[in-house]
Amino acid sequence: MLKTIMIGTCISVQGTFVQVLNNGKVAVQVGSRVFEGTLVGS
């Protein structure tokens, strides 16, 4: 499932959902990299 997250004030990343982290952020995978940030939308 694709999710979009914000990793900065102006930078968004869209990737495959990995997990919801303990701090409330969401991890997504793009290729071999995993990014974490706040979920965009609901």
Give per-residue burial for 7-23: e unless 16+ CB within 10 Å, then b.
eeeeeebebeeeeeeee
**Which domain, by its residues, includes 9?**
2-39
pLDDT in tens, 10-27: 999 999 999 999 999 999
Number of compact structural domains in the chain: 1
pLDDT tens for residues 28-37?
Answer: 999 999 999 9
pLDDT value at position 17? 97
Task: Single out the residue of 18, 25, 23 nearest to residue 1, CA to CA.
Answer: 18
